[in-house]
């Protein structure tokens, strides 16, 4: 409810795309620097992927809901 009233779908889409890009870069970076535990690194880029996919899905849902006739 908070996101629906305060943020436009384009802002949520940008956040989703940025977090997906950050997740991909984090995955690439953590694979090359293996001194962190794999559980911690999996959690970090898994979280970023989840925020990205969720944000993109939410923005598509908000766009479709806005364009439907009432």
In a domain, 30, yes or no: yes
Instruction: Give residue 67's pLDDT band: very low, low, confident or very high (50, 70, 90).
Output: confident
Return the pLDDT at 34: 64
In a domain, 42, yes or no: yes
Structurally, the chain folds into a number of domains equal to: 1
Return the pLDDT at 41: 83
Per the model's pLDDT, the better-predicted residue between 7 and 12 turns out to be 12
Which DSSP symbol is given to 1? -
In a domain, 9, yes or no: no
In a domain, 47, yes or no: yes
What is the Cα–Cα distance from 29 to 41, expressed in whole angstroms? Answer: 10
Q: Is the pLDDT of residue 1 over 90?
A: no
Reported as a single tens digit per residue, the pLDDT across 16-56 is 999 999 999 988 888 887 676 778 888 888 999 999 999 99
Domain range for 26 is: 15-67
In a domain, 3, yes or no: no
The neighbour count for residue 70, using CB atoms within 10 Å, is 2
In a domain, 54, yes or no: yes
In a domain, 36, yes or no: yes
Return the pLDDT at 45: 87
């Amino acid at each position: 409810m908070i996101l629906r009233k305060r943020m436009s779908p384009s802002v949520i889409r940008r956040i989703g795309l940025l977090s997906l890009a950050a997740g991909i870069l984090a995955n690439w970076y953590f694979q090359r620097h293996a001194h962190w535990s794999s559980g911690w690194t999996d959690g970090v880029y898994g979280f970023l992927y989840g925020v990205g996919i969720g944000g993109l899905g939410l923005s598509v849902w908000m766009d479709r809901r806005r364009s439907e006739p009432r």
